[in-house]
Structures are given as structure tokens and as C-alpha cells.
Amino acid sequence: MKSLLKFITCGSVDDGKSTLIGHMLYEAKLLFADQERALELDSRLGSRGGKIDYSLLLDGLLAEREQGITIDVAYRYFTTDHRSFIVADTPGHEEYTRNMAVGASFADLAVILVDATKGIITQTKRHTRICALMGIKHLVLAVNKMDLVDFDTDKFDAIKEEFSRITTEFQFESIQVIPVSATEGDNITTKSPNTPWYQGLALLPYLESVEVHASDDAKPFMMPIQRVCRPDHTFRGFQGQIEAGSIAVGDELITLPSHEKAKVKRILVTDQDRNSAHAGQPVTIQLDREVDVSRGCVFTKDNQLQEADSFSSTILWMDDSVLTPGKDVLVKVGTKVLPGTVTAIKHKIDINTGNTVTADQLVKNELAVCEISLSDGIVFDSFEKNKSIGGFILIDRVTNMTSACGVIDEALQSSDNSGRMDTEITRDVRAQQKGQQPLTIWLSGSVADNTAIAKAVERRLVARGYHTMLIDNSAGESVRQLAAYAALLNDAGLLALVPAGSANESDLAIAKEMIGQAFLPIEAAINSNLIEEAAKDIVKRVVKALIQDSYTI
């Protein structure tokens, strides 16, 4: 059986993406006779003076042919003697970045085109960054229009060197740079005599031979549930596609998030019984007992997946509207869709340099790191291990349009209260042992000043006999992380001092929700020369709150 390579072409407007793929199909004799004849007839009215316009094979929309640009994603399926292919020809115009991201989400490899007369430009960098975000590990940089620079090796080497510099921050597994002419056919299907200095393969032979598939069968078993099938009272099956690993009749499965266990009674691929199934196959699994499973749940074997109701993520904002913190959205992870809120924009990512930029809003086509809170917990894995439950999309609640795509970076708070264990030693028992009520003293303002104040407050509280713990916020932790740490310290019966830094109402509301009644917010923006005076005043307020059991002052 031939291997399958799914790849995209991307790059800036008029870099020759559609022409490249069209010429490849034409030269490799991968067109039907009627397609070839239609192409020759259409080209008579094209933009090349009667010469064959290979882009017409992929640019099928009227608007695309009128403007000479790609607007929608065009998919083509073809097979050579060595491999089968699915190619997505994606648009290069910044306005259609959304469509490019859609194409990248399915691909194993990206062919990024750059115009040899222009070199690396902003859109080249944007598409490279989006490819990395979408988990593509293999790149081909096709330096196109080499015929317009007389196949100058110096120009080619300069572009190759610059591209090498801008990709050093990413974890691409392979990068091949090929000099081509999409219109004239140089290095498309065979080596060109115009580039004797290029020692590598032509584009099509390289695509036929490049190895991109790590075996998903070797990974731990994982299958998101798409549908519960119950045609009658005698049968209840769970349907979905196996995203990783393999399964066999008799294997024990864990259902998430319910954490119930059951054994595989029966496996069906279409309507045929099978003893086993592997990654990539759509299956129906019947279990040996009833379990609480519905669409959005996940089957696994070893329970190494994570669960959370809030997470930090890197997103590409694709909506015409501006994104600001507090935006309510629908979040789709795997087969699960939940209401959620974008609670914070941590920073934007500069397309050109990769540097972080402070931001309080996002506009269309910007990349950023954001925090997202969900109405309930989700099951997820790292994007590196499982794209299907490591990535997500944000959906506008009103228009139902996809507003953003992204990947989960880390959980901010575990929905199953990781770090806590139900025991007979409760918070009240620990507090009674210490002779105090747990409390979080949340200091807002400058983190540096607040840390100094918190240290002074802690010294005075310890001198009075209180049991305390100061949380180190020198790394600029998120509000949710700080609140989660404080809640754990309160569970231990301690007074937690948090130099939080943020004083906006949404952050305070998040912290209050996570910590509960044992929450004392204090704004401590003071002159650094008055730290001891501020500490003395704060201690008075803390003691008063503890005596009165009235924390929110």
C-alpha cells in the first residue's frame, strides 16, 4: 500500500503557488485528457499571452481568475508510482490568512514559496509561524521565479541563509530549499540544467521520498468519542476515529472524564467485526458493561491525559472583530464543545521577530498567548503528542463562525483539583491545629514593591504567632496560577501572602472565585520608603479580618 503525504502550498500573493502545483500535475501526466484540454483552452484567454496558465487548474473561482489570486483552499488528490498525495493550495493574501490556517491544520508538510526577486517578506514569516503553530514539522522552501534572476546562485543562497535564521526558533524536523521556476518547469518534476549548482532533488521526487510519518500506532491508545450508537436495546456502541495507538478485544479502557474502567467486548470497522484496530481507523467499540460516556469523552488505556477547566494557549485570531479580555466564545477541543471566556491576553507575538509585545486586544491575523476559562473540564494532551486534543478552535457564539485557532500550552487549574486529595485531615482540622483561620492576603500594585511589603507583613505576622507562607511571583505567574497556589496553602491552614500585581476587577473576580471567602484583597501602591508603615497597617487589617471572619474588605 502506497504511503500518503498531505501537504500545503503557502506564501505571499503572486509567489506562484497555484502555478507550481498545476505545472507539477501537468508535467507528471497526472491530468485526465479532458482536464488537459480544458486547461489549454482556458489559457488562451489567460494572462500569459496564450501560453499555458497552470494556475487555472487550481484557481477555479471566478473571482480568483479575474484577480489572478487564490482566495479559497483548493484541494487536489493525485497518485504517482511512489506515493499518494493530497495537496491544499492555500491563499497568500493576508485577508485570507484564515483559509491558509485551515489548510495547514491537516498537513504533514508545507511547501512555502518565496519570490526570488523579492526575497523573504512578512507574509513568508507569518505563514512559517502559522505552520509551526499548526504542528507541521517538515518544510520545503521553494525559491520561485529563479528564471527572472537568471538563476543567480548568490540570490538563492542569500534567501536560503535568511530563511535558516528565521526558522531557528522553531522545532522543524526537516527543511529543504529548492530553486524552481513554476512557469517554466525548472526543478518541478526533474532536475533543471539551469541550476547545475543545486545538488538536491527536484520538488516532486523530493515529495515522493521525504519521510514525515512517525508511527501513531506506537503511541498510547486514545480515541475521542464522536457519537454514541444505540440502534436498539441490545446494542450500545461508541464511535470515533482512533487518533493514536491500537486497541484489541479484551483490552481494558479508561473513560475520561468519568475515570470508569471497562473491557472491550467488540470492535467494528464499518459493519465488520475485527479483533483489533489501529490509529487512523474509524471504529465502533462495544464495552462489557455500562459506563457514563457521551460525545466529547475520551477513551484511553493508561490515563496519561490531562484534565483542566482553564488553560494558557497560543492562538491565531481570525475574526474581523477585535478580541478583548472577557470575550465569551465556544471552545471546541477534539469532539467536545464548551462555553468559555478569553480571560486574559498575556502578550502578542511579533510576526517578524518572534518577540513578545504587551497587548490588551487583538485584531485580525495577530498571534498571541491568551488564557481561556471553560464552563467545565476538558480532556487534553500536549499538541506534540496528539493534535486532535492538543489544538482547539474558538467559535463566535452569535455568528457561529470560527474566530480563532490555537494550541493548548499548559493547564492553569485542574478541573479535578490536582494537588488535593480527599483525606480525613480537612482544612478545618489543619486550621484548628495551627490555631488560626486560613486567609489569602492578595496585594495588588507593583509586584516588586508588594514583594517587599509582603515580606515585612510576614515578619510581623510570624512575630504574632501566625503560620504563613509567601508566594514568589518574580516570574510573573498568571492570576489563576497564583490563586491556585494560595488555595492550596489555605487548605493547609496557612495564611498565604500573594504579591499579585494586578488590580483590575476581572482578575480580582477570578481570584475570589478560586479562593473563596478566605480572600482579602489589599491595594498597596505606596512609596518604597514607607514599606514598614504600610506593613503595620496591613497587619492590623489582617488581624481584624481574622477576628471578625470578614475577609473581603
- What would the mean pLDDT of 186-210 be, rounded to a whole number? 93
**CATH architecture designation of domain 306-413:** Beta Barrel (2.40)
C-alpha cell at 247: 486497541
27 against 193, higher pLDDT: 193
- Residue 417 has a pLDDT of 46
Q: Is the pLDDT of residue 249 over 90?
A: yes
Whole-number Å distance between alpha carbons of 459 and 520? 18
Find the angle CA(315)-CA(318)-CA(321) to the nearest 5 degrees.
Answer: 115
Per-residue burial over 283-305, b = 16 or more CB atoms within 10 Å of its CB, e = otherwise: bbbbbeeebebebbbbbbeeeeb
Whole-number Å distance between alpha carbons of 135 and 140? 15
The CA distances from residue 414 to 193, 456, 508, in Å, are 60, 32, 19
- Residue 142 has a pLDDT of 93
Strands (DSSP E) found in 257-355: 260-269, 272-274, 276-278, 282-287, 298-300, 306-317, 327-333, 336-349
Known catalytic residues are 502
Confidence of residue 63 (pLDDT cuts 50, 70, 90): very low
- What would the mean pLDDT of 73-95 be, rounded to a whole number? 78
**Interval 452-501: pLDDT, tens:** 888 989 999 988 889 999 988 776 677 877 888 898 899 888 999 998 87
Average pLDDT, the chain: 82
**Interval 506-519: pLDDT, tens:** 778 888 888 888 89
CATH topology of domain 427-548: Rossmann fold (3.40.50)
Q: Is the pLDDT of residue 60 over 50?
A: no
CB distance 363 to 322 below 8 Å: yes
Whole-number Å distance between alpha carbons of 501 and 243? 42
Please, which residues have CB within 8 angstroms of residue 487's CB and are 6 or more apart in sequence?
A: 440, 514, 515, 516
- Residue 85 has a pLDDT of 87
The three-state DSSP-derived secondary structure of 269-289 is: ECCEEECEEECCCEEEEEECC
- Residue 171 has a pLDDT of 84
- What would the mean pLDDT of 186-205 be, rounded to a whole number? 93
Find the angle CA(456)-CA(457)-CA(461) to the nearest 5 degrees.
Answer: 120
Q: Is the pLDDT of residue 220 over 50?
A: yes
422 against 442, higher pLDDT: 442
Confidence of residue 43 (pLDDT cuts 50, 70, 90): low
**Interval 313-353: pLDDT, tens:** 999 898 889 999 888 899 999 999 988 889 889 899 887 77
Confidence of residue 275 (pLDDT cuts 50, 70, 90): very high
Q: Is the pLDDT of residue 226 over 90?
A: yes
Q: pLDDT above 90 covers what percent of the chain?
A: 32
Strand, helix or coil for residue 421: coil
- What would the mean pLDDT of 362-373 be, rounded to a whole number? 90
Using the 8-state DSSP alphabet, how is residue 43 labeled? H
* CATH topology agreement for domains 220-300 and 427-548: no
C-alpha cell at 364: 485580525
Strand, helix or coil for residue 436: coil
C-alpha closest to that of 449 among 392, 547, 517, 530: 530
**Interval 97-118: pLDDT, tens:** 767 777 777 788 999 999 999 9
4-209 CATH: 3.40.50.300
CB distance 117 to 147 below 8 Å: no
**CATH architecture designation of domain 220-300:** Beta Barrel (2.40)
> Where along the chain do its domains lie?
4-209, 220-300, 306-413, 427-548
Q: Is the pLDDT of residue 16 over 80?
A: no
Q: Are strands 391-396 and 356-357 parallel, antiparallel or unpaired?
A: unpaired
Q: Is the pLDDT of residue 179 over 70?
A: yes
- Residue 268 has a pLDDT of 94
Order of strands across the sheet with 495-501? Answer: 468-470, 495-501, 439-444, 519-523
CB distance 146 to 180 below 8 Å: yes
Size (the chain), residues? 553
pTM of the model: 0.64
- What would the mean pLDDT of 361-384 be, rounded to a whole number? 87
